Amino acid sequence: MADSYLDALNLVRQNTPLVQCLTNSVVMQFTANVLLAAGASPAMVDTPAESEAFAQVASGVLINAGTPSAEQYQGMRNAIDGANKAGTPWVLDPVAVGGLAERTLFVEGVVDKHPAAIRGNASEIVALAGLGAGGRGVDATDSVEGALTAGSLLAKRTGAVVAVSGAEDLIVSAGRVTWLRSGHPMLQQVIGTGCSLGALTAAYLGATKDLDRHDEVLAAHAHVGAAGQVAATKASSPGSFAVAFLDALYEVTADDIAQLVETREA
């Protein structure tokens, strides 16, 4: 894994992947700033009239069902169609799936349309696999360990790399399971860190198409986790942490990440 994620970080910064973000209104600005700090280029193109065409020229696409309108649902469907036509990798973030009927129907309707990755918390992944009812809003009530079966089922069913975020992240693909220990609890006190991780995952997938997708998804999570650890050494409250986190995404090196995170294959 080491060589793969070293290559992935450098390729993101060299290639400046263009990431189309169809995401929730609460996190748009923060997500754009995360992508810029990491070395990618954000584009918040989510209208039905434009999203399909843009997905065909983007490097990667994020589909985040956080605060959707009827128009954005259609924009997301169109973007997925465009991405699949062009072979653009797209990432599904099933925010609060299971707890609300409309978004659950939407996510269930697109999950089999060949996402390159699915990223969520444990309760979202468990609900999407049909093994639970979802969490408490956007907060998980299931453990990451308890989402292993759900993640494996989703990976087998969809062909996607499935990432489950928590105190220890879980990355699952067909025939492979990786645990990643990184990050800091303060990441949970800043809105948008999880949603922006979905966008960064799309950036890594779009910039590093010659690498194994499992390692690309793992590398995105390692980048965020390491940046969170660095930020926590410079800030003690959420406001200053958010700024320090963006700085760390920009400044952290591949060698820094290798020293800060721990991975194990299961």
Q: Which residue has the tokens 């699949």?
A: 84
With H, G, I as helix, E, B as strand and everything else as coil, classify residue 45.
Answer: coil
Which phi and psi (to 5°) does residue 144 adopt?
-60, -40
Burial of 154 (0-12, 13-18, 19+ CB in 10 A): buried
Annotated ligand binding at 182? The verdict is no
Helices 213-232 and 238-251: angle between axes, nearest 10 degrees: 130
Annotated ligand binding at 76? The verdict is no
Annotated ligand binding at 192? The verdict is yes
Exposed e or buried b per residue across 156-194, where buried means at least 16 C-beta atoms within 10 angstroms of its C-beta: eebebbbbbbbebbbbbbeeebbbbebbbebbeebebbb
Angstrom distance (rounded) from CA 87 to CA 59? 9
Contact by Cβ (8 Å): 82, 52:
yes
Annotated binding-site residues for substrate read: 44, 192
Annotated binding-site residues for ATP read: 119, 165
Annotated binding-site residues read: 44, 119, 165, 192
